[in-house]
Amino acid sequence: MKSTANKVNDKKTSKRAYALKEILEKQETTILEIKEDLPIENSGQAVNAITIQFGSDGPALPAEPAAKLSEAIGIFHELIAKEIGSAAAALTIDKQGLKAWIDLQIEVPAKTILSLLRTMQHWHLDPLKEEIGFTQYEDGNWQVFISIDGCSKLLNEHTQFNGLVFNQAGTLIEGVPEWMECSIYRRDRIMPITVREYFIEVRNSHDLWQKMPRRMLRHRALQQCVRLALG
């Protein structure tokens, strides 16, 4: 019979094996999904499956993990290069200038860069004019965001835009309105689209929030309202 210590070790090995299996399956799925966005040059080409073997001694490592990682990175680079060309053409901006700007975003994950390139084409927003860009949250995650200049452009170019109104709470928190509302009116809607943002929920440690918290709260309300009204 196995000792108690051996049983505990077996359970830990089993948990590690299961966790590794989940990670590898997600990696394989991601690569397959990304592949679908690329033009197929050779119909005979296929993504190599990752084979995992589990036994009493623990999971076997996948063959050539470095090659798999290199393949995934290569796929993202191909997609980004493709989208840079499409975005430059859609916005009639210089392709090399856009590529140079993208190359400077060395800290931003490739998937977030890809998201920005597709979003800027959808909304016709130019990152070189600071209409769209990246933001990093306190947890380290990156996300595409539309700046106030971008929101203003979207509103004023939209054929159904019919004005907006801001309202704020009468109660204060540290001298700042407890909440602020933005209401956007559209010609094709009976009621306005209204969004309320609360100061305690959206403030952060960024310098701008310390220097001009009211303006930042107003900006946040406008950005979220534009997202609902025009999204």
CA distance linking residue 161 with residue 87, whole number of Å: 25
The one-letter amino acid at 25:
E
Cα(142)–Cα(60) distance, integer angstroms: 33
Determine the Cα–Cα distance for residues 17 and 132; give it in Å rounded to an integer: 42
pLDDT at 66 > cutoff 70:
no
- The 10 Å CB-count burial string (b at 16+, else e) for 52-67 is eeeeeeebeebeeeee
Q: Work out the pLDDT band at 62, boundaries 50, 70, 90.
A: low
**Residue pLDDT, tens place only, 118-165:** 999 999 999 999 999 998 877 788 999 899 999 999 999 999 999 999
**Which 8-state DSSP code applies to residue 144?**
E
pLDDT tens-place string over residues 204-221: 888 999 999 999 999 999
**Cα 26–chain centre separation:** 18
| Closest alpha carbon to 84 in 117, 49, 46, 119 | 117
What does the pLDDT look like over 23-37, one tens digit per residue? 444 444 444 444 444
Q: 170-201: per-residue pLDDT in tens?
A: 999 999 999 999 999 999 999 999 999 999 99
